[in-house]
Each structure stands twice: as structure tokens, then as C-alpha cells.
Structure 1
Amino acid sequence: MSSGVRCKNCGSTEIEVDNARGDAVCTNCGTVLEDNLIVSEVQFEEVGHGSAAIGQFVSADSSGGATNYGKFQVGSGTESREVTIKKAKNGITMLCQQLQLTNHYMETALNFFKMALARHLTRGRRNTHIYAACVYITCRTEGTSHLLIDISDVLQICCYELGRTYLKLSNALCINIPSVGESWPCFSMFKFIHVI
């Protein structure tokens, strides 16, 4: 497919422009003339149960080029990352409400989740474990009286699995979490005395 542009290397006008890949290549000598083209036209392709747009999706908050190549479904309205963050916000909000934590703690935990998501630390882990670990990291950094077992009881998940997820996230995110140390027995004792 000729685009009317000349190759800088050999002078040929046989340039193939592939909008799906986002590049322009000289078919005579193979020189890549342009990479990561952004075009204003939209091409559609029929798929099994509807149509799909062909091209690259560039996120609004992207600092680089395109993040996804190939086809993306038309009419979805939101990016996958936005859906993931919305689900996380709902899950973290429900957990914070059950633990009687304010919006400040919910927003802090959601920020920890966004950090984990940006570093691909959520892959291969259950959402509830990630949400719980982010809330627990928030509780530890903010100095609340919540223990890991409290979150485990609320969500009915294994405390050891939750602890492993918490350690992986806190280490990978390099979060300076204050240690409970020797004050831990007193810490939990005051918590349970307050309940009685």
C-alpha cells in the first residue's frame, strides 16, 4: 500500500502504513520510517458478536506511547485499569466500613492499591487479599489498633495467606512500616479491654 511518502534511505515511494501496529515501513528496503503513529481515523472489524476497533489505545494518564496493541472492544466506555480501580475502591470501602475506619484510611489504602497495580503486584493474587493487605498497611502506617486477624475475621480469609500478601506488598512497595515490637501485647490488651 503506497502512501505517497518517500523513503529517506532508498527514495522509494512504496511505503506500507499499518495503523493497527502504528508504523510505516518501506517495502523496498525494509526501513522503518515511523513508529507509534497516532492517527485520527478509526477502522472497524466485524467480530463474532459485534464490531471491534482496530488500533492502539493510548491512556489519558499514559506517560509513554500506546499500552495495548491490536483490537479493543467498542462501546466498553472505560479502560480496564479504571474498572479495576473502581472495583478496588468498592472493596476497600466496604472493608473500611466494617472496620469502622474513616474515608482518610480508605483513600490511603486505595493509593496503596494503585501503587501495587502500577507495579503489577496484583497479578496472580486474589482481589480480597490485595484489598485487605492495602487496608492493613494503612492501619500499620497510621497506627490504628487493628490487627491482621481482625481483617482476616471480617473477610473470612486465612490469616497466613493475608500475612504473606501483606509482606509481599509492603516489601515490594518499599513502605516504611513502623514495627509493633515489644508494645504489641499491650497494644492488643488495650484493644480487648476497650471492648469489655
Structure 2
Amino acid sequence: MSGYCNTCKRNVATERDDILGIIVCMRCGSVMESNAIVSEVGFSETGAGAAVADGFQLRAGQARVASNRNPGARTGVHAGMQDSRDRTIELGHRKISDMASQPQIRMSGRLVEIAQRFYNIAVTMNFTKGRKTQVVVAVCLYVTCRMERTAHMLIDFADALSINVFEIGSAFVKFVEMAKITKEIPVIEPATYITRFATKLDFGEDVDDVIKDATRLVTRMKKDWIDTGRRPAGICAACE
């Protein structure tokens, strides 16, 4: 399904959570619609004859709710699955914060929150099953970087985790396809990496001139279609 997201200011793919009664934007992870909360309190009778209040219980940081209608249903397997899901989300959020604070990554708190929303979506779609947590975390962070057009590269996350870059890349492709946000991911612009590369090279006082000239060269290459089929990082290196 799709709908208009006030945060993204566009029509986006959405995901409905029937348990929470909310509709979530698959692009930014924000809640687009939620059910109205009523003030009336209803009661039901259990099999043992006890009266319990209808409704849901939601702990801090919990991703799913447990119904009060049948307390017995929250024990055993169902309770174990719920607790496992909550632990998965909590662990993922913590690892996202840890990775974002590493020197080679360094992402702002706003970007971390967006990545954590994507992780919630990944858990909802069962994308975490059969995959390493660190790989899913890297995917969520990289999706955020692509959405926000930062200068982070896939290899930055691979180096931070000491894993194969192709493992993260493969998981990234599967995630955007499963979340149906392939069309929402911006194409990488070579100019995005120019400032990053120029500041790391020993250009001294000429760094601003190098950035300006390299940007002009990249723009010219795009007009002549010279950049087609070439990696953005390679184009930046050639222009600098």
C-alpha cells in the first residue's frame, strides 16, 4: 500500500501494523496514521471467572503490544516470542548507536534515529532472521546515508565491522526490494564525495580550488554522459 508522508513530503510505500493499529512510512519510518484512543474502559471475563480490563499493555521501548483480553495467551510461547522480538530491537538500536559513533562513521543523532526506524521495519518484515545483526545494522545505516545523501560509502561500514563489503551490499539490495523503497533511494552523485576526498589529500591551501574545479569537471562529465557506467568514487578520483 502507499500514502502521502508529511515528513517526506511525497507519496511513499507504507506498512500497516494491525496490532498497533498504525501505518508506517517505509522511506523514513515515521508513523503516518494511528487509531484514535477512546477513554471508555471495558472489561471481559476470563475462563476462571475473573474480570480483566480490555486493552493493551506497552512497556517503554516495546515494539509490540500484549492484549489484556486473555492473560493466559501472554504466557509460554507467545510471551517468549514477544520478549525475543523486543530484545532484538533493543540490541539493534544499541548497535546502531555504537557503530554511528565510530571515528570512520560519525553520524548525527538525527541520522541514528532514522536508522533505528529502518531497523524496526527490518524486524517487522523478519529481515533479521538468518542474518547477522551487525549486517542488518550496517544496512539500516547505509540506507539512511543514501536517503540523506551523505558522503558515507559502503566500504566504510565493511571496514568498521571487518566483514566483506559484498555481504553488506547484497543485504542492502534485498532490504530495499523487500521494503519496496528501491525507487526512493537516490542515485549516488559523484560530487557527494569530492569534498571528502579533497580534505583527506595533501592539497594545503589549494583544497577549496581543487573542490571547485573537480565539481565543474564532474558536472561536465555528466553532461557528456562520460560518467555513465562508472563508479562515483572513481570519477571523483579522476577529477581530483
Equivalent residues in 2 for 1:8-87 (5 A)? 39=46, 60=58, 61-62=64-65, 71-72=76-77, 79-87=83-91
Q: Percent identity?
A: 25
Please name the residue that 1:178 is paired with: 186
CA displacement at 1:106 relative to structure 2? 0.8
TM-score (norm 2): 0.50
Residue type of the partner of 1:156?
S
Please name the residue that 1:44 is paired with: none
Residue type of the partner of 1:177?
I
Residue type of the partner of 1:170?
V
CA displacement at 1:72 relative to structure 2? 4.8
Aligned residues: 138
2:173 pairs, out of 158, 167, 184, with 167
Deviations 1:98-142 (A, max 9, x none): 111111111101100100110111111111100000000000001
Partners in 1 of 2:85 and 2:198 — Cα distance?
43
Equivalent residues in 2 for 1:149-168 (5 A)? 149-168=155-174
Higher helix share: 2
Structure 1 residues 138 and 72, CA gap change in structure 2 (3 angstroms): same
Please name the residue that 2:214 is paired with: none
Provide structure 2 residue ranges, at least 5 long, that are not aligned to the other structure.
1-43, 49-55, 59-63, 202-240
Structure 1 residues 40 and 109, CA gap change in structure 2 (3 angstroms): farther
Residue type of the partner of 1:90?
R
Structure 1 residue 96 corresponds to structure 2 residue 103: no
**If you compute each CA radius of gyration, which structure gives the higher value, 1 or 2?**
1
CA displacement at 1:90 relative to structure 2? 1.0
* SS of aligned partner of 2:101: helix
Please name the residue that 2:147 is paired with: 141
CA displacement at 1:162 relative to structure 2? 0.5
CA displacement at 1:170 relative to structure 2? 1.1
Provide structure 1 residue ranges, at least 5 long, that are not aligned to the other structure.
1-36, 42-57
TM-score (norm 1): 0.61
Partners in 1 of 2:100 and 2:154 — Cα distance?
13
Q: Name the Cα RMSD after superposition.
A: 3.1
Deviations 1:76-100 (A, max 9, x none): 8x82221111100111001111111
Partners in 2 of 1:132 and 1:38 — Cα distance?
47
Residue type of the partner of 1:109?
A
Deviations 1:33-76 (A, max 9, x none): xxxx98486xxxxxxxxxxxxxxxx874449899x7872599x8
Please name the residue that 1:16 is paired with: none
